[in-house]
Structure 1
Amino acid sequence: MTTKLVYRYYFLFFCFVALVIYSFQQLNIDLPILIQNHVNDFLCMPIVLYVCQFIVRKLKSDENMILPLPLLMVVTMGYSLYFEWYLPKHMIRYTSDWLDVALYFLGMLFFYWIERKKQRMYALH
């Protein structure tokens, strides 16, 4: 039962963690460098892709629909290009970091893996 809960609620947990990190940053509370600079980059794609999948499921009235891997890769590439290439060239607030790109793709792979695992788990019941 606890495994089902993890698969079902990872999205809420990820949102909570991202919100806590963002709040600490806004309050100028020191965080370890890894958390400060990179955790939200990993969490970004699972959160974004979950929301996209939720919307598509509602639009198509298909609660079992899963986003295909090529689409996940295109969306992740779009985020990578926008946040790590375009914005750093146009806004001083942003810096380009290839580790962030790797973390976007790791987050996307996590989303892909966990959503497939959820689908298999619920198909067995």
Structure 2
Amino acid sequence: MQRRPLKSLHIVFVICLILYAIVQLLKFKEYQANSFIYNYLNDLLVIPIVAFICLNAVWFLKRDYSIRLSFMSLLSLVALYAIYFEVYLPSYHERYTADFWDVFCYTIGGLVFYLLQKFP
């Protein structure tokens, strides 16, 4: 089996996980942070994290490291997150609120992932 490509994508994945952990720690410690950090940072991070895990699963199953997630695959991932977290859950749980900016953050995260996997 050949070496895994896309070192920059691996680095971004680790950075995203660290940032997510920091945000969760800040929430746990009830630290008063900027509203962007609590409201939108995780939305920016979630699509690259999930897409990276999906891409690694495809690499593992197919044993082909040249495979990349297509634009339509990432668009469907963004759409699924947007529909579930911004349409479905707000109508059933008061904890969730529908927000256009969350969808925007999912989209930006998907575009960043798409561009990072295109460049070695």
Q: Deviations over 1:71-90 (max 9, x none)?
A: 11011100110011100100
Give aligned pairs, total. 115
The answer to whether the aligner puts 1:44 opposite 2:46 as a matched pair is yes
- Map 1:1-125 onto structure 2 (within 5 A): 6-118=8-120
CA offsets 1:16-54 (integer angstroms, 9 cap, x no match): 001110111122111101111111101110001000001
Letter in 1 for 2:65: E
User: How large is the Cα RMSD of the aligned pairs?
Assistant: 1.3
Provide the C-alpha distance between the structure 2 equivalents of 1:11 and 1:27, rounded to a whole number of angstroms: 24
**Runs of 5+ consecutive residues of structure 1 not aligned to the other structure:** 119-125
Gaps of 5+ in 2: 1-5
Separation of aligned partners in 2, 1:66 and 1:21: 29
**One-letter code aligned to 1:97:** D
**Change beyond 3 A, Cα 1:9–1:100:** same
Q: Is the 8 A contact 2:47 2:109 kept in 1?
A: yes
3-state SS, counterpart of residue 63 of structure 1: coil
How far apart are the structure 1 equivalents of 2:61 and 2:7? 25
Runs of 4+ in 1 over 4 A off after TM superposition: 4-7
2:111 and 2:7 map into 1 onto residues whose CA distance is 20
Identity %: 30
d(CA) in 2 for partners of 1:13, 1:38: 16
TM-score calculated relative to the size of structure 2: 0.90
